[in-house]
């Protein structure tokens, strides 16, 4: 099975992040504009991972608690110390973490530095592509059409 670095090579290392002082409204606006389900919260230099903010956080920590999106800083409702993986983490381990913890996003840290983020969608796409390749290889082997 593949590694996180394989997913990052395919999708790139772009990480959308904001500082903890940004309002929830601005964060949701960015997420909508970029069509993403989670944002990384970093320090003002964008180097230190402080937390993660997802659509689920919005639903549970803003809407259900009656907070104002335009007045609440994201640092107040983000998930602090999120679970992270490294580029060498296996896709299988990522699936276990996501399933057991019921989370959909994993920041990727390499030598203390944020280098990417993977989502459950990224993992599913990778597994489907990997299985498709294995099936094609087996079909070629069975039919004698070796490459």
pLDDT of 130:
87
pLDDT of 147:
55
Q: Hey, is 141 helix, strand or coil?
A: helix
Domains of the chain plus CATH, in order, are 4-143 (3.10.580.10)
Q: What is the rounded distance in angstroms from the CA atom of residue 7 to the CA atom of residue 23?
A: 31
Residue pLDDT, tens place only, 45-100: 777 899 999 988 888 888 878 888 899 999 999 999 999 999 999 999 999 999 99
How many alpha carbons fall within 13 Å on the CB side of residue 119?
18
Over residues 29-53, mean pLDDT: 90
pLDDT of 47:
72
pTM of the model as a whole: 0.85
pLDDT of 146:
60
Q: What is the rounded distance in angstroms from the CA atom of residue 139 to the CA atom of residue 25?
A: 51
Label residues 52-81 b or e (16+ Cβ within 10 Å = b).
bbbeebbeebbeeeeeebeebbbbebbbee
- How confident is residue 101, by pLDDT bands cut at 50, 70 and 90? very high
Q: Hey, is 129 helix, strand or coil?
A: helix
């Amino acid at each position: 099975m593949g590694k996180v670095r394989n997913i990052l090579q395919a999708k790139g290392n772009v990480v959308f992040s904001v500082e903890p002082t940004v309002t929830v409204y601005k964060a949701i606006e960015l997420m909508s504009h970029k069509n993403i389900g989670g944002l990384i919260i970093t320090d003002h230099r964008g180097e230190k991972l402080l937390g993660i903010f997802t659509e689920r956080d919005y639903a549970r920590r803003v809407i259900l608690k009656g907070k104002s999106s335009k007045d609440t800083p994201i640092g107040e409702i983000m998930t602090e110390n999120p679970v992270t993986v490294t580029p060498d983490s296996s896709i299988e381990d990522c699936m276990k973490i996501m399933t057991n913890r019921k989370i959909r996003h994993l920041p990727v840290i390499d030598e203390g530095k944020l280098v990417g983020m993977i989502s459950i969608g990224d993992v599913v796409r990778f597994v489907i592509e990997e299985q498709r390749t294995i099936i094609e290889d087996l079909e070629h082997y069975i039919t004698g059409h070796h490459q």
